[in-house]
Amino acid sequence: MKTSPKAPAPEKQNEEKTRVLSRAHDILMAIHHHPDGLTLREICNYTKLPRSTVQRILGTLEEQNTVITAPSSGLYRLGPTLTLLAENVRPFDIAKIARPMLMQIASKTDESVYLCVIAHGMAVVVDLIRGIHPIQTVTTMGTSLSLHATACGKALLAALPETDLEAMGLQHKLNRFTENTITNWDDLRIDLGKIRTTGIALDYDGHQVGTSAIAVPIKGPSGEIASISIPMPTERFHIMEEQLVKILRKSTQSLRWEP
């Protein structure tokens, strides 16, 4: 007597759904960064995913008009469904309020300036102003950055209530990115204590070798927490650090976060 195969456990099904969503996101971001379109092979190269996987996900996305492809060239581009979704996107309130600050700081420093918030255990860039230096860090809107290894992330952690920080400590492993990355919660708490005292978060090559950053936590009128960060090549950072501290403190006074 034949027995029917067992259905996958719910946990396995959820893991598979999450994996598919993550891969679809990677595919959409690859196409997003190449508005002129990408071939199937190019998408596979950028995402490091198997051709069969990419082809299957693209087929589903095409059915929903999330991506479209030109038959003549075979190039995939973002589709009209995303435009419809984007019409209903509203910026974070704090992003509206902080935008003039970002512009002022960028004007005073000539550096790139980021606004980040916490989402899904990461520091997510929700607004940015590009600097004018030929050598600068490259980040785009929507980029997710490590909380414990970046200045913007540590500024956000320092502003969290203690109960939220405790919960995060139980859930998140502090992965190492460089020799300077803080990888245990005791050391991180010491660093966060300094940030609460000074109002300034610093990162010296903690997330990427050759890149350092400074950040401050800010608080919106409705209690929203965000951080404003200035990343740059470490060599230039050491020269400008004192100046950056003064500029950030003065420019963010109206939204200053206090413990």
Residue 230 pLDDT grade (very low, low, confident, very high; cuts 50, 70, 90): very high
- β-pair partners for 204: 212
pLDDT of amino acid 114:
94
Of 86, 108, 138, the last residue of a domain is 86
State the residue range of the domain holding 69.
10-86
Domain total in the chain: 2
Q: Do 174 and 236 lie in a common domain?
A: yes
Q: What is the pTM of this model?
A: 0.67
Q: Do 33 and 136 lie in a common domain?
A: no
Residue with tokens 């939220």: 164
In a domain, 144, yes or no: yes
Say if residues 225 and 159 touch (Cβ distance below 8 Å): yes
In a domain, 180, yes or no: yes
In a domain, 62, yes or no: yes
In a domain, 1, yes or no: no
Within a 13 Å sphere around the CA of 18, how many CA atoms are in the beta-carbon half?
6
Q: Do 54 and 129 lie in a common domain?
A: no
- pLDDT tens profile 19-38: 888 899 999 989 988 888 89
The C-alpha atoms of residue 129 and residue 131 are separated, in whole angstroms, by: 7
Q: Do 111 and 220 lie in a common domain?
A: yes
Q: Do 79 and 157 lie in a common domain?
A: no
pLDDT of amino acid 84:
76
Of 86, 118, 139, the last residue of a domain is 86
pLDDT of amino acid 210:
93
- pLDDT tens profile 145-190: 999 999 999 999 999 988 888 887 767 889 999 999 999 999 999 9
Of 37, 54, 86, the last residue of a domain is 86
Q: Do 69 and 118 lie in a common domain?
A: no
Q: By C-alpha distance, which of 115, 118, 116, 117 is closest to 102? A: 115
CATH number of the domain where residue 70 is located: 1.10.10.10
Q: Do 141 and 66 lie in a common domain?
A: no
Q: By C-alpha distance, which of 243, 242, 244 is closest to 229? A: 244
pLDDT of amino acid 141:
76
Say if residues 248 and 200 touch (Cβ distance below 8 Å): yes
Q: Do 182 and 240 lie in a common domain?
A: yes
- pLDDT tens profile 117-129: 998 888 999 999 9
- The widest CA-to-CA distance across the chain, in whole angstroms, is 79
- β-pair partners for 113: 129
Phi-psi region of 112 (alpha: psi -120 to 50; beta: other; left: phi over 0): beta
In a domain, 44, yes or no: yes
Q: By C-alpha distance, which of 257, 221, 255, 249 is closest to 105? A: 249
Q: By C-alpha distance, which of 130, 105, 122, 101 is closest to 218? A: 101
